[in-house]
Amino acid sequence: MKAHTKETQATLTPEKALLFLKEGNVRFQNNLKANRNLLEQVNDTSTGQFPFATILSCIDSRVSAELVFDQGLGDIFSIRIAGNFVNEDILGSMEFACKLAGTKVIVVLGHTSCGAIKGACDDAKLGNLTTLISKIKPAVRAVKLPEEAHLRNSSNIDFVNSVSEKNIYMAIDNIREQSSVLRDMESEGTIKIIGAMYDLNNGFVTFY
């Protein structure tokens, strides 16, 4: 499989780009890999890059977007931050990726049993991590469960995963609300902005 070129990138629609990711995850689940020569892709991309997707994911070491979607060099922009939320710098990176570099789809990729989400559920405090976790707390508050304290913390994995899902949707809302560039591109049909959840138990990605 060759690295994408300006010509191949230009032929892609947001729907086709999303299909590439879905097909790649199926290969990953079945322990298969597309036939690609990474060293050849190093050479092919040495003078330029034409990725088709931008993926915002958590820093979790088990959730590498390139691996779980079976993609090669030059295929995706990978933005990683604990808790996969957006801020001004990440939005700027996404605007570059889509408006200037031509990617067709933005995926906000959360995952089950997320440590950052657990920290937000437990109101953890540790140095600069305290500020980071505060960005996730709106998702914790937004998930409606019985108010018993033992249900609304990291010991309740269903609650944790519900917060992870809510956090994905809130990140998507923030992208649309805080970036007129990306909102307009989505309205025009140039890009698609979607959410997805990676299951640590089986490697399956569920798209929302």
84 touches 172 (CB < 8 A): no
Report how far residue 74's alpha carbon sits from residue 90's, in angstroms, rounded to the nearest whole number: 19
Sheet harboring 105-111: ordered strands across? 76-80, 53-57, 105-111, 192-198, 205-207
The letter for the amino acid at 157 is I
How many other C-beta atoms are found inside a 10 Å radius of the C-beta of residue 7? 8
150 annotated among ligand-binding-site residues: no
58 is in an annotated binding site: yes
Q: Does 199 belong to an annotated binding site?
A: no
Instruction: For the chain, count helices (H), then strands (E).
Output: 10, 5
Annotated binding-site residue? 114: yes
Q: Measure the CA–CA gap between 128 and 4, rounded to whole angstroms.
A: 38
Cα separation of 127 and 134, whole Å?
12
Which parts are annotated binding residues?
Answer: 58, 60, 111, 114
Residues at the binding site for Zn(2+) are 58, 60, 111, 114
